[in-house]
Amino acid sequence: MAVYTKLLRSNIEEILKEYNLNLIDYHMIKNGILNTNYYINTKEGKFVLRVFEGGREFSEENQELDFLLTIKNIIPCCLPLKNLSEKNYIIYKGKMIALFYFIEGEPIKDITENLLKEIGVYLGKLHSFSKGKILNRKSRIDMENYYNKIDFNFIPISAMEKMKIRSIYEEVKFFDFSKFPSGIIHNDIFPDNVFIKDGKIEGILDFNESQTAPFLYDLAIVINYWIRLYNFPKEIEEKYINTFLEEYEKYRKLEEGEKRALDKALKKIAITFILLRFDKFIIQNLNGVFIEDKNYSQLLPLLKYY
């Protein structure tokens, strides 16, 4: 999320006419870094308005919205609202816009064993359902693309950290993950994309980078960014990883090859999101963008594992 496209009240009221909704108030959502989002409060209910900023064809983006409607009874997710033309989205001033039903709750801030069990269950269900299914589009979360754009002379990290990132990249760039089970994955399942209420997962948000890819990528995101990044004591870390994977495997068993390749996936995912943040907050010009500060330095502690 973030706000790249500024909308006035009159713009939002015009958009809401396409849904027969009456605006009360709204505000920009700062969380996230890839799309524009607004909180929308109407007489008919609460919604999130997304302006798609990915540069994809509208038909490509709509695959996500259609997919969400197919999994609504499998996992709790953020669902698109149909407009008066019974479509998932509208085109407004050349931009693709969708409304999503608002999910009550708040992003995960503190990781618990019960939350890891829940996300293991939901990812297991999602992957079991989506195995072999296709989203025919490319995600923006692309390790090689980021790496090739970056001049490390302008990245203000230590020489040791630069060396570690280059070393990991060389290790994993030719590793063939395509031979492992795949289907539609979330691909960005950080704790702040999962809302909780009363200590339980209420909704999984922001499938905009979902794509057909090896299931290992989602597992690596959880292990890296729900567990290892929090610097738990070693015995707690191992317990949490085992708990997460045990719950996941109740719904989709990992193949032996996947288990052996998990370390490679962890390395690839660790540097992919570090490189993404280099690109977003150092390479790109974000002047005038209302955006959450997700600094790359927050992710650098992962390098100690790899």
Using one digit for the tens of pLDDT, what is the confidence trace for 197-244? 999 999 999 999 999 999 999 999 999 999 999 999 999 999 999 999
User: Which band of pLDDT confidence, cut at 50, 70 and 90, is reported for residue 289?
Assistant: low
Least confident interval from 220-229, 241-250, 265-274, 286-295? 286-295
pLDDT given at position 251: 98
Kindly tell me if the per-residue pLDDT of 112 is higher than 60. yes
Q: Are 25 and 46 in contact (CB under 8 A)?
A: no
Tens digits of residue pLDDT in 165-176 = 999 999 999 999
Tens digits of residue pLDDT in 27-84 = 999 776 778 999 999 999 999 999 999 889 999 999 999 999 999 999 999 999 999 9
Tens digits of residue pLDDT in 187-210 = 999 999 999 999 999 999 999 999
CB < 8 Å & 24+ apart, contacts of 230-237: 230/111, 231/301
Q: Are 53 and 4 in contact (CB under 8 A)?
A: yes
pLDDT given at position 290: 55
Most confidently predicted of 16-20, 154-158, 279-283, 294-298: 16-20
pLDDT given at position 32: 65
Phi-psi region of 97 (alpha: psi -120 to 50; beta: other; left: phi over 0): beta
More confident site: 232 or 283: 232
- Burial of residue 231 (number of CB atoms within 10 Å: 0-12, 13-18, 19+): exposed
pLDDT given at position 1: 46
Q: 3-class SS at 65?
A: helix
- For the chain, the average pLDDT equals 94
pLDDT given at position 286: 66
What is the rounded CA–CA span in Å between residue 275 and residue 277?
5
User: Which band of pLDDT confidence, cut at 50, 70 and 90, is reported for residue 285?
Assistant: low
Ordered by start, the domain boundaries in the chain are 9-102, 107-305
Yes or no: domain 9-102 corresponds to CATH 3.30.200.20:
yes
**CATH no. of 107-305:** 3.90.1200.10
- Sign (positive/negative) of CA torsion 227, 1, 73, 46? positive
What is the rounded CA–CA span in Å between residue 116 and residue 122?
10
